[in-house]
Amino acid sequence: MISFLTHWPARISFSLLALFLCTISVCVAQEQSSKTVPRGGCPDLIELIKELTPAVVNISIERHMLQHSSTEPPPLFRSKPGALEDQSRTKDRFQADSVGSGFFCDTQGHIVTNAHVVEGAGKILVTLSTGRVTTARLVAVHPKVDLAMLKIASSSPLQKAKIGDSAGIQVGEWVVAVGNPFGLGRTVTVGIVSGKGRFLGLGPDDNFIQTDASINPGNSGGPLFNMAGEVIGVNTAIIASGKGIGFAIPSNYLHELIKLPTNGEFAVRGWLGIYVEDVTPEQAKKLGMGTPRGTWVDEVLTSTPAQNAGLKKGDLIVDADGKQIKNGRHLSKVISSFKPGDILKMKVIRGRQQQAVDIVLGKSPE
């Protein structure tokens, strides 16, 4: 955390310089030729931000299944638990608090966010720009990309974000990211579209917008606006080893999400009923692995699909649905593609022997 604090002043200076140069360049361009004005112009960011932020919300959740840290940095914004992560684990290993972002897509309380933000959530809390905190429920999940829709109850109309056409964006146009990085609500950063159609290997429908607007864990699910105040992307991923390399799901996928049934049909996912812990490099070496893979069963809850199938503490899950399991998060992602009642075929190592286990998945308890 200290390293972040020591770098903030420099980042702020560069951001102010960038905005100052942007203002100068636009003014000069307007005097010389209207053809060189940036697409959509470069409006007063203060007024634009005042207009946009009421539509953005902070999301915090409690997860049913606590998964210990992966051995490698996750590429997705997996809702960083916070600075007191280690302490909270020792105090209460049955609950994991995490944060993310979202925005209203209509005035009736429907909120767009990333599916991974609310994956495995037992309780979802939404904080509005007014400071009001309310519970939300998951009502739809996009079948192809990392998008989900929540719903809150509201007695009065809410301010919605305008959805833009991501097909028309151009590399070099200015964008604004609004979100909840590290729990710092309604943080605003500015950058440009750095690339289009990026494939990250996260799924067959990868088609990310690349931006250098500063986004961090907790920005997941937050909007990426163009200078017309339209959402042209949903901030989703970063390259952990890079700087200023963020990715957003194009807004045109939102039309598919909004059309999905909101009766919860897509929100119900399969559940095992276990706590897991990833394989450490030291353990991998003892097991003769080149790199750590798989995830240990740390605890099996009573009266759950895992217990009914005979899973035991100390089992090493190495395969699920024919996929070699990398870590606990990978296992969670595989399970999330199944529904209650589906049979999940797994391979576990118990002692020194590999065993096949078929599990009839259940529904996560509320």
CATH code for the domain of 73: 2.40.10.120
Instruction: Confirm whether 13 is a catalytic residue.
Output: no
Same domain membership, residue 156 and residue 10: no
> Which range (12-26, 66-80, 295-309) has the least confidence?
66-80
Same domain membership, residue 138 and residue 125: yes
Q: Report the percentage of the chain scoring pLDDT > 90.
A: 48
Same domain membership, residue 233 and residue 315: no
> Active site residue: 68, 116, 142, 330, which one?
116
* Res 256: pLDDT: 86
* Residue-number span of the structural domain to which 152 is assigned: 40-267
Model confidence pLDDT, tens digit, residues 341-354 = 999 999 999 988 99
Cα 232 to Cα 46, 334, 366, distances in angstroms: 20, 29, 34
Instruction: Confirm whether 220 is a catalytic residue.
Output: yes
Provide the pLDDT confidence category of residue 200 given band limits of 50, 70 and 90.
confident
Q: Report the percentage of the chain scoring pLDDT > 70.
A: 75
> Active site residue: 68, 79, 98, 146, which one?
146
pTM value is 0.59
Same domain membership, residue 23 and residue 7: yes
Q: What is the mean pLDDT of residues 325-348?
A: 87
> SS3 for 214?
coil
Same domain membership, residue 149 and residue 60: yes
> Which range (74-78, 234-238, 262-266) has the least confidence?
74-78
* Res 239: pLDDT: 81
Same domain membership, residue 169 and residue 131: yes
Q: State whether the Cα torsion 138-343-201-218 is positive or negative.
A: positive
State residue 248 phi and psi, 5-degree precision: -130, 140
Of 244 and 94, the one with more pLDDT: 244
* Res 80: pLDDT: 32
Provide the pLDDT confidence category of residue 137 given band limits of 50, 70 and 90.
very high
Locate the DSSP E strands across 45-164: 56-63, 96-104, 110-113, 121-127, 133-141, 148-151, 162-163
How far apart are the C-alpha atoms of 136 and 63, rounded to whole Å?
14
DSSP code for 279: P
Which among 244, 267, 290 is the end of a domain? 267
Q: What is the CATH number of the domain that holds 287?
A: 2.30.42.10
Same domain membership, residue 82 and residue 19: no
Q: What is the mean pLDDT of residues 305-317?
A: 95
Provide the pLDDT confidence category of residue 263 given band limits of 50, 70 and 90.
low
> Which range (18-27, 120-129, 217-226) has the least confidence?
18-27
Q: State whether the Cα torsion 269-272-274-277 is positive or negative.
A: negative
Q: How many CB atoms lie within 10 A of CB 175?
A: 24
Same domain membership, residue 153 and residue 262: yes
Q: HSE of 318 in the Cβ direction (CA atoms, 13 Å)?
A: 17
* Res 264: pLDDT: 56
> Active site residue: 194, 220, 332, 364, which one?
220
DSSP code for 257: H
Looking at the structure of the chain, the number of domains it has is 3
Q: Is residue 315's pLDDT more than 90?
A: yes
Model confidence pLDDT, tens digit, residues 71-129 = 333 333 333 333 323 333 333 343 445 789 999 999 999 999 999 898 878 889 999 99
Which among 225, 250, 267 is the end of a domain? 267
Same domain membership, residue 45 and residue 28: no
Q: What is the mean pLDDT of the chain?
A: 78
Model confidence pLDDT, tens digit, residues 43-61 = 568 899 999 999 999 999 8
* Res 191: pLDDT: 93
Same domain membership, residue 95 and residue 14: no
Same domain membership, residue 287 and residue 359: yes
Same domain membership, residue 54 and residue 160: yes
How far apart are the C-alpha atoms of 110 and 262, rounded to whole Å?
10
Which among 209, 233, 267 is the end of a domain? 267
Model confidence pLDDT, tens digit, residues 157-170 = 899 999 999 999 99
Q: Is residue 324's pLDDT more than 60?
A: yes
The label of the residue with tokens 């999330």 reads 336
Provide the pLDDT confidence category of residue 180 given band limits of 50, 70 and 90.
confident
